[in-house]
Amino acid sequence: MSVAVPDEEARRSPRRKPLLVLGGVAAMVVVFLFGLGIGSGDQGAEAIAAAEASASAVAADADSERAAAKAEVKALAGAQEALEKEQAKLSSDRKDVKARASAVAQGEEEVTGREEAVRTAEAEVDTRESEVEEREAAVEAAEAAVPAGAAGGSSDEGAAETGGAEYYDNCDAARAAGAAPVYSGDPGYGTHLDRDGDGVGCE
């Protein structure tokens, strides 16, 4: 048992087969009527004219179908072009989204880095404050450890005026320590050393 397989041209253009059949039939009719026209005169001429009109109608239908097919192909091409543009836009949008996500991730990393820098700076400030407190405590301890001078109250007064651990009972003591003359603001300066009050003691 054999199975008839349609040829490739018939599968691709199913509309052409009826047109070809109609065209063949019309041609046969023309030939037949032409033969009749040779024998019967005017009747044959009318038949030929009718056959030609039928063939023209078939050709017009074929042209119309070809035009419709071309229009359909053009429409399909337009749809394909629109689809390609939409795909290109989607691809561009995906790249834009990826770029924004990357920028957000980079921004988060920068924020994390700044927070870490702030924590480091705060730790340094705490360390410095602790060092300052330790120094202040050492100064207070040194001031507390200064012995009272032979002059008693005047020794305390001189220490209070100088604001330091150095204290000289008199200019002889200052000279013996190599500190004379003693200027105002220097360690060991006191008003009991500066009799004229010009800011220079033991001149």
Q: State residue 44's pLDDT score.
A: 67
Question: At 77, is the secondary structure helix, strand, or coil?
Answer: helix
Ordered mean pLDDT values, 10 residues apiece, the chain (203 residues): 48 49 54 52 75 87 92 94 93 92 92 92 90 84 61 44 67 88 87 87 85
Q: State residue 24's pLDDT score.
A: 56
Question: At 188, is the secondary structure helix, strand, or coil?
Answer: strand
Q: State residue 159's pLDDT score.
A: 44
The structure's pTM equals 0.34
Distances from the Cα of 173 to the Cα of 50, 142, 156, 181, angstroms: 153, 21, 16, 11
Between β-strands 182-183 and 200-201, what pairing exists: parallel, antiparallel or unpaired?
Answer: antiparallel
Q: State residue 5's pLDDT score.
A: 45
Q: Burial-class residue 169 by CB neighbours within 10 Å (0-12, 13-18, 19+).
A: middle
